[in-house]
Amino acid sequence: MTAHVSVRGDVAVLVPAAGMGVRLGPGGPKALRLLGGEPLLVHAVRRLALAPSVGCIVVAAPADAVSFVAELLEPVAPVTVVPGGATRQASVAAALAAVPDGFDIVLVHDAARALTPPELVESVAAAVRGGHGAVIPVLPVVDTIKQVSDSGSVVATVDRSSLRAVQTPQGFRREVLEKAHSAAIDEHTDDAGMAERIGEPVHTVPGSEAALKITRPFDLAVASLLL
Ligand code: C5P
């Protein structure tokens, strides 16, 4: 599947892809690791471009791989590639700064969630378009969750009925994401956390098992089977 997809919608998607992927073991930036013979980033961008709402894709690449990533994605879809930062948050901020005027809905999507279906992108975009300032896809937590002390003893069993595992893409009205980033003083692992910090209500939509985050070698094996 190498056909070039032309993007045309009203939504911009930022793809932080500048992480080194240390937990995946040695082998270079995580977004460039191969899955079924193609880099994770190629899988992720292709699925984003297939979502009808998407009209702009900005990728934050490792600073020393910007032109390599631009050439890699050229046959896949039209993308802008910018140098990422030292943290995920800095990479998202760099990509956000490159979004042209006219895109009032901005999604943030980890390259590591390479098999995210276009339908999930549409569902998040639709919820923002429907009036929510910040939207995240979530899944119920299936394992029993326990709080554990530094010494390894169980402190408490957490009621999992109100817990959710959070995925990407996370969607925002552009001004909400811009305000959240300019107000951020500490590091957050996701953008919705920054929106929460500025008091923005965060809406949830059902996530997708296929949007799993490829972090460890086991995840790569699962993703290969899904592919
Ligand atoms: O490290 P983690 O798995 O949380 O990274 C999530 C996403 O953020 C990945 O797609 C990774 O490439 C990206 N990232 C980035 N810039 C960094 C660190 C992570 O774009 N400095």
155 CB within 6 A, ligand 1: no
Question: Is 80 exceeded by the pLDDT of residue 59?
Answer: yes
What six digits make up the tokens of 90?
Answer: 């800095």
The answer to whether the bond into 169 is cis (omega within 30° of 0) is: yes
CA 41 to chain centre: 11
What pLDDT shows up at residue 158? 94
Pocket test for ligand 1, best of 66, 109, 110, 212 (most atoms within 8 A of CB): 110
Across 116-142, average pLDDT: 97
3-state secondary structure of 127: helix
Give the residue, by CA position, lying nearest to ligand 1 atom 5.
19
Say yes or no to pLDDT of 85 above 90: yes
pLDDT-derived band at 22 (thresholds 50, 70, 90) equals low
Give yes or no for residue 111 CB within 6 A of ligand 1.
yes
Mutate to test the pocket of ligand 1, among 20, 30, 32, 167 (most ligand atoms within 8 A of CB): 30
Average pLDDT over all residues of the chain: 93
Q: Is the C-beta atom of 24 inside 6 A of ligand 1?
A: no
Q: Which helix (H) or strand (E) covers residue 91, if one does?
A: helix 88-96
Residue 2's pLDDT band, with cuts at 50, 70 and 90, is low
Of all atoms in ligand 1, which is nearest to the CA of residue 17?
12
Mean pLDDT of 89-117: 96
- pLDDT range class, residue 185, cuts 50, 70, 90: confident
Report CA(146)–ligand 1 centroid distance (Å). 27
Determine the average pLDDT of the residues in 53-78.
Answer: 96
Element (H, E) at 165: strand 164-166
The average pLDDT across 194-204 equals 96
Whether the predicted model's global pTM rises above the 0.85 cut: yes
Q: How far is CA 167 from CA 170, 191, 206, 222, in A?
A: 7, 11, 10, 17
State the pairing for strand pair 170-173/38-39: unpaired
What is each CA distance from 24 to 5, 165, 192, 213, 224, in whole angstroms?
Answer: 29, 20, 25, 11, 14
